[in-house]
Amino acid sequence: MKVILMNKNKEVLIAEYLENLKVFTSIYEILNIEYAPLIINESYKLNEPLEVSLTEWFKNRGIPEGRDRLDMLMSKLNISTPTTLLDKAYGLSLSDQYWIKPYDEDIKYEDINFFDNDFNDLEFTEATFSNDVTLSSNITFMTPNNTTDGVLRKTWVIDQGKRYLLKAGLKDEVLQPFNEVLATMICERLGFNHVAYTLDKVKGNIVSKCECFINTDTELIPARQILKGLSDPDKINAYQKYIKILSDNGIENAKEKIDNMFILDYLMLNNDRHLNNFGIIRDVNTLKWIDVAPIFDTGNSLNLIDYTDDEIIIEGNGRFFFNVDKFDNIIKKISDIKRIDFSKLDGVVDDFENLLKKYQSETKMSDKRIERLCIMLDRQISKLK
């Protein structure tokens, strides 16, 4: 079928789309390539086949094959693969304004986007978090939950008119939602720009809850797209190159803001700062780069492997752009740490301990594990002090 890649109401390009395979096979006409997703625009500049980059970008919008309890989700939604969902709601997302418009269909962005138009969130919430094996019926699929990446179970919901993302822990792990709240505690004390997380309970699951930080005029561009095309030698210096790209595009204090994120990762021993969970915010109307995205997705932290009365063993490596390295090596790359008053973190360990104990009857987390988690956190704070 013939379709138009849209950015709000701006026509970007016209392509042939195979609905059964979820791939684009031909580009008929390029209309406003500068309004394409950044990674597709970069492919165009590099003379790469746009059909390939368009297909890759589109499939990466969807629920990945590695999503926790994916088989249960698909069973409840009565689908065979997660890619089935990609075009059910024009490919719309709550992270940007791109969508796939059938060539002959007369429809406007204002009529369908999920920032302004309500959607049924109960079906996906039930399918994602409930242990009930009953299949859902009469599912509309007109929802932004078709396009949520990442391995954790998650759903977008509407609460008093606002869009919130609910996210559970991985498999039987319960710590991730609490880590998101801890990141909020730390960022608030240190003055880091961040997404604020709280806790909620859905279908017996304790989940993190955060408000959508994108609106109808903005988009999130992940670092992975910004750094597309770097050669292997360039990747060695990706940190410096990333800062320069942001600065060249008008983002102020880019280095300080990126450093703040890695300081948080050091404090929390976050080993999952991959290139898709940080980036920048861009105005989709003017294409102006607005700012570094607020810090989000810090759940995979404080990863205890084993602990005894005398020893704590942790997942010892963090991520720093294309490299995996020890946290103590990564923090050495961050200059001017003395600008931060870490005494503002006094009491945060106690607050985290109180939070874990408040929910202990539901999480079944042992006293020993809570103690060891707090020891780890206190150690990291003390090192930076």
Distance CA 174, CA 156 (A): 20
DSSP state at residue 295: B
Distance CA 90, CA 99 (A): 5
pLDDT score for 131: 83
The least confident of 32-41, 164-173, 251-260, 311-320 is: 311-320
Write the pLDDT tens digit of every residue in 18-34: 999 999 999 999 999 99
Determine how many CB atoms are found less than 10 A away from the CB of residue 246.
23
| Residue recorded with tokens 């404090």 | 267
CA distances from 66 to 62, 69, 114 (A): 11, 9, 25
pTM of structure: 0.95
Asked if the model's pLDDT at residue 286 lies above 70, the reply is yes
- E runs forming strands in the chain: 2-7, 10-18, 23-30, 98-102, 154-159, 162-167, 197-202, 205-211, 218-222, 279-283, 289-292, 304-307, 312-314, 317-320, 323-326
Asked if the model's pLDDT at residue 259 lies above 80, the reply is yes
Asked if the model's pLDDT at residue 140 lies above 70, the reply is yes
